[in-house]
Structure 1
Amino acid sequence: MPGTRDVVNELIGKDSVVIFSKTHCPYCKMAKKVFESLKKPYTAIELDNREDGQDIQDVLNEITGARTVPRVFLNRKCLGGGTDVKKLYDSGKLANLF
């Protein structure tokens, strides 16, 4: 799947915060809310609105070790999922990563 991997790498590099998400996912909403609270813009890639959503999740699994959403990237580094981001936010550590 070199094509999909290239797409994922390009998407991750597009913005300092990139959230691979699904529109109906409560954990995705939680992750987005964290960045809204910090007033940090993010790019959300809604996988359930994309033809290649499943392929992207497969590549995310290869890159991050999990295919669950959200997969949150900050400066090309995966922070994990919704609860991981919320923990970083609650501890005050997330703001220091910018």
Structure 2
Amino acid sequence: MDRVTKMASERAVVIFSKSSCCMCHTIKTLLCEFGVNPAVHELDEIPRGRDVEQALSRLGCNPSVPAVFIGGELVGGANEVMSLHLNRSLIPMLKRAGALWV
């Protein structure tokens, strides 16, 4: 769990992902199109990625990926990020976290 907390706070936006996950790809694309430069951890490509995935599940991420952290806080998965986007709260949240400057 400490490893996840440390990884989640390394940048304003952190995404835990799997390289073969289409919803992960969608969320990464959405954030990058806004101009965000997230730290992306592909759990199927990093050492002990399975342990990180289990820790994310214990935090309440279901499914475990994508798991998006903004400002070090867990926002949630694809549904939560898209809901924030659709209700126009995502960009202000990204600005507050220092991920966007405009």
2:51 maps to 1:46: no
Q: 1:28 aligns with which of 16, 24, 29?
A: 24
TM-score with structure 2 setting the length: 0.83
Aligned counterpart for 1:58 among listed residues 54, 59, 75: 54
Q: CA deviation at 1:46?
A: 0.3
How many percent of aligned residue pairs carry the same amino acid?
A: 28
TM-score by length of 1: 0.86
How big is the alpha-carbon RMSD for the aligned residues of Structure 1 and Structure 2? Answer: 1.4
Shift of 1:87: 2.0
Q: Shift of the alpha carbon at 1:83?
A: 2.4
On the 8 A contact 2:16/2:66 being kept in 1, the answer is yes
Q: CA deviation at 1:65?
A: 4.5
Larger mean CA deviation between 12-21 and 56-65 belongs to 56-65
Unaligned runs of 5+ in 2: 96-102
Alignment size in residue pairs: 94
Which residue pairs with 2:14 in the alignment? Answer: 18
Do 1:34 and 1:86's aligned partners in 2 also have CA atoms closer than 8 Å?
A: no
Higher-helix-fraction structure? 1
Tell me how far 1:63 sits from its aligned partner. Answer: 2.0
Aligned CA distance change for structure 1 residues 15 and 82 (closer, same or farther; 3 Å): same
Change (3 A) 1:37 1:50: same
Instruction: Decide whether the 8 Å contact of 2:61 with 2:67 is kept in 1.
Output: no
- Asked if structure 2 preserves the Cα contact closer than 8 Å seen for 1:22 and 1:70, the reply is yes
1:37 to 33, 46, 55: 33
Question: Are residues 65 and 35 of structure 1, via their aligned partners in 2, closer, same or farther at CA, if it must alter by over 3 Å?
Answer: closer
SS in 2 for 1:64: coil
Does structure 1 retain, via aligned residues, the 8 Å contact 2:61–2:76? no
Aligned residue for 1:92, secondary structure, equals: coil
Find the counterpart in structure 2 of residue 77 from structure 1: 73
